[in-house]
């Protein structure tokens, strides 16, 4: 078991592979796990063998069907000719303990760019004696070939000491380009990398921060494991560093931010982007193309995720704490679901009142379970439960209402009209005095302590609109982990029917995440914002009213946040389903068409254009699989 424990500790540092590893180990039997099995798991991992992804679509097929449309000489030459603005890029290239062959592959990928206005700023901080002379000789000769475009310098080194901050800042000091592009010395840029960044700047020269998607590449040059990320998501950045590669900043901005800061080693890129976040002036562009290839080999950052080094792991936590300090936010930084992922547990300011509004019509057993679970798991003290009785008739239900009316912080209000989700809530919000409104179904059951404190902690941030929870089916599978707008022709729940402990694509189901929308089955919003938005759109009845509300909040500049740390079982509108399912389906499709007509910018013919999803992922599915065409 010592061997297995060691393997567990090491491999759990690899967030996107941990689930695969667990599956392999379990298949051998936890008590019988041996070195052979662990080696098998490692081979499966480092060769990029994700069963889930390969069963969805081979990445090579995606490259052929999608990427080759723009990643070819003719297309790149055509795009280059259209450029009116050709900014100069300084590629920041700190070197540390790499073979000349690996350095050559990285540098060659810059020289092979389809865009030609660039320079390379190389700072050599090699400390390993077996590389020092070889590296110096190689880089000196490399510079001599093209002195106009290659800048090369060294820093004083100390054996065994990582000088990533000093090394990178030294490279930055040589740069005179309009923009700086950060690159590790063992990785590769795609041939269209700088061209795509230049195209983005031609579309909007005010961008001061640009990032892209990336994949991994092995020592034989095989590409695999693409990471397709959302557009700018500042709250996702508090949980995981997703703007990893490629990153491009306006040079003057990096100077304004003070470059990289000592004490952030192993988390220096994360610290830089979080300092950018706290400027509150966002001019960000996400390029949803693979512009960077992260090399994987034993000892590489891509494999270790830098979390295997305790000092880097500690620095990640400190970087997030400094982010809180800069924003003057009170909260505790806790370990997330896997290494390299973090959770901020916010303190609540001023003890605001939360009105938990639950509409119901009979089905008293579900309502009773919902209320009992709220009282059991709610550690926050300033809340009230407001039941909206919508034409209940059963004697047991009415008797339960009479009991509730006598209980502290509990109200029962009557709304005697035909059921209409939006109209009911628009009326109910005017009847309550909470600072925040929790929109909650009657067919849910809270299953973790502190759920409401967690949601309120995020909702109190001035830039946050709606906050949604993680919902499960009774069998433990995921029912809701955010909403993908455009999926299924209108909107659908992210990671629906995935296993309850599934991390989700790139950790999306298990980390704090910005989404365009979250479900109204459990949604927290400030009363002021709800009223400012004029509540739910009553023209939608009842489907997609929650999606529309979230989109309108986003349109006004608010972010909608999904938290996996508020967890409930959802019985999927069981109290509203009856034998008129056909009629309900027809009505839902009518509302889907209304949503498409109202928000064509987010729901297009191909499926969608949700900024918090990615156009390379399928809108025909909810599990973030790669699209086919």
pLDDT of residue 27: 44
Contact assessment for residue 516 and residue 483, using Cβ atoms and an 8 Å cutoff? yes
Rounded CA gap, 120 and 590, in Å? 56
pLDDT of residue 577: 47
Sign of CA dihedral 48, 18, 336, 551: positive
- Nearest alpha-carbon partner for 52 in 30, 80, 75, 19: 19
Q: What pLDDT digit, counting tens, does each position of 561-594 carry? A: 999 999 999 997 555 444 456 677 778 889 999 9
Domain boundaries, the chain: 2-46, 80-326, 354-598
**Residue for token digits 């052979």?**
36
Domain 80-326 fold:
Spore Coat Polysaccharide Biosynthesis Protein SpsA; Chain A (3.90.550)
List CB contacts of 505: < 8 A, sequence separation 6 or more.
495, 617, 623, 624
pLDDT of residue 38: 52
Q: What are phi and psi of 505, to 5 degrees?
A: -65, 120
Rounded CA gap, 8 and 29, in Å? 14
pLDDT of residue 301: 59
List CB contacts of 423: < 8 A, sequence separation 6 or more.
417, 536, 538
Task: Return the H-helix or E-strand segment holding 439.
Answer: strand 436-440
Rounded CA gap, 201 and 136, in Å? 35
pLDDT of residue 56: 43
Contact assessment for residue 235 and residue 561, using Cβ atoms and an 8 Å cutoff? yes
Rounded CA gap, 60 and 24, in Å? 25
Rounded CA gap, 111 and 16, in Å? 32
Rounded CA gap, 29 and 89, in Å? 53
pLDDT of residue 629: 82
Rounded CA gap, 194 and 179, in Å? 11
Contact assessment for residue 179 and residue 206, using Cβ atoms and an 8 Å cutoff? no
pLDDT of residue 26: 45
pLDDT of residue 177: 98
List CB contacts of 531: < 8 A, sequence separation 6 or more.
429
Sign of CA dihedral 209, 215, 218, 221: negative
Enumerate the β-bridge partners of residue 526: 436
Enumerate the β-bridge partners of residue 344: 333
Rounded CA gap, 488 and 417, in Å? 31
Task: Return the H-helix or E-strand segment holding 371.
Answer: helix 364-377
**Residue for token digits 């579900």?**
366
Rounded CA gap, 563 and 431, in Å? 28
The CA-based angle 581-582-588, given to 5 degrees, is 85
Coil/strand/helix, residue 437: strand
List CB contacts of 296: < 8 A, sequence separation 6 or more.
46, 48, 216, 217, 218, 219, 302, 303
List CB contacts of 134: < 8 A, sequence separation 6 or more.
99, 100
Which tokens hold the place of 131?
């590389």
| CATH 3.90.550.10 is right for the domain spanning 354-598 | yes
List CB contacts of 425: < 8 A, sequence separation 6 or more.
357, 359, 439, 535, 536
pTM above 0.75, yes or no: yes
pLDDT of residue 24: 45
Rounded CA gap, 417 and 611, in Å? 38
Whether 80-326 shares its CATH topology with 354-598 is answered yes
Which tokens hold the place of 220?
């034989």
Angle between the N-to-C axes of helices 2-11 and 35-46, in degrees from 0 to 180, rounded to the nearest 10? 10
DSSP sequence for 75-95: HHHHHHHT-S----EEEEEEE
Which tokens hold the place of 519?
């479900």
What stretches in the chain show pLDDT beneath 70?
1-57, 159-162, 299-309, 573-582, 605-607
Sign of CA dihedral 472, 478, 481, 486: negative
**Cα dihedral angle (221, 189, 230, 46), rounded to 10 degrees?**
30
pLDDT of residue 600: 94
List CB contacts of 240: < 8 A, sequence separation 6 or more.
15, 336, 340, 341, 342, 506, 507, 511
């Amino acid at each position: 078991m010592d061997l297995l424990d060691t393997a567990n500790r090491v491999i759990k540092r690899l967030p996107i592979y941990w689930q695969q590893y667990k599956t392999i180990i379990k298949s051998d039997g936890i008590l019988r796990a041996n070195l052979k099995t662990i080696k098998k798991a490692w081979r499966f991992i480092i060769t990029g063998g994700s069963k889930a992804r390969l069963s969805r679509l081979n990445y090579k097929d995606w490259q052929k069907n999608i990427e080759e449309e723009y990643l070819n000489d003719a297309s790149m030459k055509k795009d280059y000719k259209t450029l009116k603005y050709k900014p100069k890029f300084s590629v920041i290239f700190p070197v540390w303990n790499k073979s000349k062959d690996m350095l050559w592959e990285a540098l060659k990928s810059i020289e092979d760019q389809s865009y030609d206005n660039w320079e390379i700023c190389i700072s050599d901080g090699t400390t390993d004696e077996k590389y020092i002379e070889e590296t110096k000789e190689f880089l000196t000769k490399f510079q001599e070939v093209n002195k106009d475009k290659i800048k090369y310098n060294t820093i004083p080194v100390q054996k065994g000491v990582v000088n990533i901050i000093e090394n990178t800042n030294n490279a930055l000091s040589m740069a005179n380009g309009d923009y700086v592009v950060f690159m590790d010395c063992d990785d590769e840029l795609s041939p269209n990398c700088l061209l795509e960044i230049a195209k983005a700047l031609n579309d909007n020269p005010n961008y001061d921060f640009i990032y892209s998607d990336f994949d991994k590449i092995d020592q034989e040059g095989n590409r695999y494991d693409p990471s397709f990320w959302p557009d700018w998501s500042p709250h996702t950045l508090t949980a995981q560093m997703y703007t990893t590669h490629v990153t491009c900043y306006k040079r003057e901005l990096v100077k304004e931010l003070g470059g990289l800061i000592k004490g952030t080693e192993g988390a220096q890129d994360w610290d830089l982007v979080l300092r950018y976040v706290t400027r509150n002036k966002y001019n960000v562009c996400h390029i949803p193309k693979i512009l960077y290839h992260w090399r994987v080999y034993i000892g590489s950052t891509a494999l270790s995720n830098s979390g295997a080094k305790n000092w880097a792991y500690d620095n990640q936590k400190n970087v997030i704490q400094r982010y809180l300090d800069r924003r003057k936010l009170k909260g505790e930084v806790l370990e997330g679901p896997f290494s390299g992922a973090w959770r901020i547990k916010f303190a609540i300011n001023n003890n605001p009142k939360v009105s938990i509004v639950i509409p119901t019509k009979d089905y008293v057993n579900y309502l009773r379970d919902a209320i009992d679970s709220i009282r059991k798991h709610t550690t926050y003290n300033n809340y009230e439960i407001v039941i909206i009785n919508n034409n209940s008739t059963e004697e047991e239900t009415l008797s339960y209402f009479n009991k509730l009316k006598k209980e502290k912080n509990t109200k029962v209000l009557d709304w005697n009209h035909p059921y209409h989700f939006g109209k009911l809530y628009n009326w109910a919000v005017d009847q309550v005095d909470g600072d925040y409104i929790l929109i909650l179904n009657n067919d849910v059951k809270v299953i973790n302590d502190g759920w409401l404190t967690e949601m309120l902690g995020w909702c109190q941030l001035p830039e946050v609109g709606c906050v949604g929870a993680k919902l499960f089916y009774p069998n433990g599978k995921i029912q809701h982990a955010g909403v993908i707008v455009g999926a299924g022709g209108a909107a659908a729940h992210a990671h629906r029917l995935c296993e309850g402990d599934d991390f989700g694509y790139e950790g999306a189901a298990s980390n704090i995440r910005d989404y365009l929308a979250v479900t109204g089955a459990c949604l927290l919003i400030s009363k002021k914002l709800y009223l400012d938005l004029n509540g739910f759109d009553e023209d939608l009845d009842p489907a997609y009213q929650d999606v529309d509300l979230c989109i309108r909040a986003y349109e006004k500049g608010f972010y909608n946040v999904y938290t996996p740390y508020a967890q409930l079982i959802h019985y999927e509108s069981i109290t509203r389903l009856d034998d008129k399912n056909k009629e309900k389906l027809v009505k839902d499709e009518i509302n889907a068409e209304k949503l498409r007509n109202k928000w064509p910018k987010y729901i297009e013919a191909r499926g969608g254009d949700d900024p918090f999803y990615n156009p390379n992922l399928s809108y025909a599915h909810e599990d973030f699989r790669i699209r086919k065409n």
